[in-house]
Amino acid sequence: MKSLDGKVAVITGGNSGIGLATAKLFADEGAQVVITGRRKDVVDAAVEAIGPTAAGIRGDVADPAHHANVAELVRDRFGHADIYVANAGVNTISLSQQVSEAEYDAQFAINARGTFFGVQKIAPLLRDDASIILVGSLASDKVLEGHAVYAGTKAAINAFARSWAIEFKARGIRVNMLSPGPTETAILEKLGVEPENRDAFVAMMAHAIPLGRLGRPDELARAALFLASSASSFVTGINLRVDGGMALL
């Protein structure tokens, strides 16, 4: 028997990177998976890659109406959900003096607002003993240059996780935060790392990580599987750092 047989999982930002790796692993472990993303073509390609037990929906996680649409899809197709992974996020690296109002608003809208209203809309459909996983960041614990706004959004998510762990306790719903360190995903390019500078950037980051390398999406996916499955049945309200020990330095 697979660890997620009979489960329904919803993963925001499940069309790439850590989200896609998690969606694939959850499907392999028996779950029906619903993913979200901003671009329909990318979502459709991810659904095909995940397999026949996957469905996708395009939308903007900053818009509560999108989360209402996700909940409607889940209700109509499955009647309930068992796992919710708030993974979608954005990071714009800028020193505080250079942060524009638009950059600030976008990061809080996608990272914090998107997480909050995603959970709010899906909560009525979650079965008792469900698992909610909020994807945070090493940046909420460790000061990183140019990450002040991003760190603030992830600190908010940490606060959500701790509050919801208590708020949903009567239903047996577990709420945990998963905090990746630097991971080998397309986010490196989105952060402005040019292809010709990628190897030097990765080497620099690896030097700051006790395990001496960046993480892999599949490693984050396995950590998410732990939090989603009965293997973590007595775990709630934690911040699970999967960062190669980087927060220690």
24: its two tokens: 């694939």
Q: What angle do CA 102, 92, 83 make, to 5 degrees?
A: 100
User: For residue 11, what are its two tokens?
Assistant: 């993963």
Helices 17-28 & 40-50 angle (0-180, nearest 10)? 30
Q: Which of 26, 84, 117, 150 is flagged as catalytic?
A: 150
Dihedrals phi, psi of 31, to nearest 5 degrees: -85, 150
The neighbouring-strand residues paired with 56 are 35
Active site residue 104: no
The DSSP output letter for 106 is: H
136 exposure class (CB count in 10 Å sphere: 0-12, 13-18, 19+): buried
Q: What does the DSSP 8-state code read for residue 54? A: E
- For residue 222, count CB atoms less than 10 angstroms from its CB and return exposed for 0-12, middle for 13-18, buried for 19 or more: middle
Residues with catalytic roles: 150
